[in-house]
Amino acid sequence: MNSSTDARRRTAATQHTVLVVDDEPSICWALEKMLTQEGHAVVTASSAEEGLEQAAAVQPALVILDVRLPKEDGITALPKFLAATHDAPVVVITAFGDLETAVAAVKNGATDYLTKPFKLDDALRVCRQAIAESENRITQVVTTKSEVNPTAIVGTSPAMQQVFRQIALVAESDLSVLITGETGTGKELVAAAIHRHSRRSDGPYLPIAPVALNPDLIESELFGHVKGAFTGASDDKAGLFERAENGTVLLDEIGDLPLATQVKLLRVLEQGQYSRVGDVRTRTANVRILAATNCDLHEAVGKGTFREDLFHRMTGMQIHLPPLRERAEDIAPLCQHFLTALQYPAPDQAISEQLLAELQKQPWHGNVRELKNAVEHAAVVARSRPLFIHDFPPPAPGRGEASSSPQRSLEQSISRWAVSALEPNGETPQDLHTKFLAATEPTLFKIILAHTGGNRAKASELLGIHRGTLRDRLRTYGLDEPDTSS
């Protein structure tokens, strides 16, 4: 399709009016140009007050609303825009990208949100979806709630912004959610956040890991039992689903659930019904079910260890948490978060750019949990001073890996020596290179000479130094032994 045909199609398409409310002229200009090329009319405003006047006058099909505005902020003004436009879709722009902003935006009625800086392709996709919603007259019903406790989920990377968006969109529904990710990525935190931001937040939130239970008692723990159902059942007992009435259940590591129990869980999901062990009476379960796993359920379905119908019923939405090594940009805010929680002095100055670069190189096989433990360890060692890499424990081993590489251990040893040498002890540090060589060369020379059987010619070749230099150094260190060179 050539450009003239494309232009005629845009002209022939139904034109909509879009209102952009942002106090940054560059943002307004970019969005206006993008939407004009789509065939829409664009009206801009630099404040919520001006935007509301424009909204009442032009009745836009879409409002793009910035959070940070000169007087009234976008989140507070959002319901007013909905009222002024008869519930036209609103896309919120925020420079913060935290979970609380995303949830507040959606709860106040936003259709979606963009995080600055955003790509125009992403903005165009979001706007097209919102305008399609406007054309179909799909109105989102929003229940406004009081503020909840701040979440502990931290991240500014695009991958975490997607997680925040999914939490915000799914929280108010009763949709089942499967949360996937490696151990330590924060699956339990995501589940807790979904519950906190849901209409069930006043009800109980009960997480359980079936793999940690006695296999013979899993169904009793989940569904309860009646007196005499099995040996030791001396009284009636309510199960997890009964205790979680009007609340949320998290089934952690659901992939380890026995097949027989999977059948009964499927009944709860499809019919909202279950029976206590040993009881013929059917009970109703008014609970929302979330599940988490660090294994590949697709693979488990293929092996026959996980029911395919349960997998599809469980994944009303799937939220995947990427490993920390794939979002290294989140290490800095996570470290700040952990240090602040520890009330560490000047947490924003405790980690240098050099240290951050070192931390971002590590594999973090234990993910956020490992980073948290490492920061807490370093904070204890550093005792209120800025942190150094040697304050941190060695990286946790991955599968089949050694606990710490020789290179890593050497770097930590050198780092500890250097920091110790530089610490004030009444003397001005000087000639540190000579002192460092005196501390390390004797050990290196001993090992090399043992390897060569005392042959200094071979030893000097391995070391890359002249044979005479080696002889002089050995004399200096009192290591002048007979030379076995031919």
Residues 356-383 have pLDDT tens digits of 999 999 999 999 999 999 999 999 988 8
pLDDT above 70: percentage of residues in the chain: 86
Name which of 241-245, 362-366, 446-450 the model is least confident about. 446-450
CATH fold match for the domains 14-136 and 158-321? yes
Residue 252, classed as helix, strand or coil, is strand
pTM: 0.60
Q: Is 431 exposed, middle or buried (0-12, 13-18, 19+ CB in 10 A)?
A: exposed
> What CATH fold (topology level) applies to the domain 328-422?
Helicase, Ruva Protein; domain 3 (1.10.8)
Q: Return the domain boundaries, the chain.
A: 14-136, 158-321, 328-422, 432-476
**Whether the predicted pLDDT of 111 surpasses 70:** yes
Q: How is residue 203 annotated by DSSP?
A: S
Asked: is 432-476 a CATH 1.10.10.60 domain? The reply is: yes
What is the residue type of 285? A
Whether 369 contacts 183, CB under 8 Å: yes
Considering the segment(s) 158-321 as one domain, its CATH architecture is: 3-Layer(aba) Sandwich (3.40)
275, 283 in Cβ contact below 8 A?
A: yes
Specify whether the CB–CB gap between 235 and 220 falls below 8 A: no
Specify the pairing of strand 283-284 against strand 288-293: unpaired
pLDDT band (50, 70, 90) for residue 148: very low
CATH of 14-136, one of 3.40.50.970, 3.40.50.720, 3.40.50.2300, 3.30.479.10: 3.40.50.2300
Question: Is residue 348 very low, low, confident or very high in pLDDT (cuts 50, 70, 90)?
Answer: confident
Instruction: Return the pLDDT at 65.
Output: 92
Structure tokens that stand for 80 in this block: 């007013």
Distance CA 62, CA 18 (A): 5
Helix (H, G, I), strand (E, B) or coil at 325: helix
97: pLDDT confidence band, cut at 50, 70 and 90?
A: low
Average predicted confidence (pLDDT) for the chain: 82
- Nearest-angstrom CA–CA distance, 29 and 25: 6
Phi/psi at 181 (nearest 5 deg)? 155, 160
Give pLDDT, residue 189.
92
Share of the chain above pLDDT 90, in %: 32
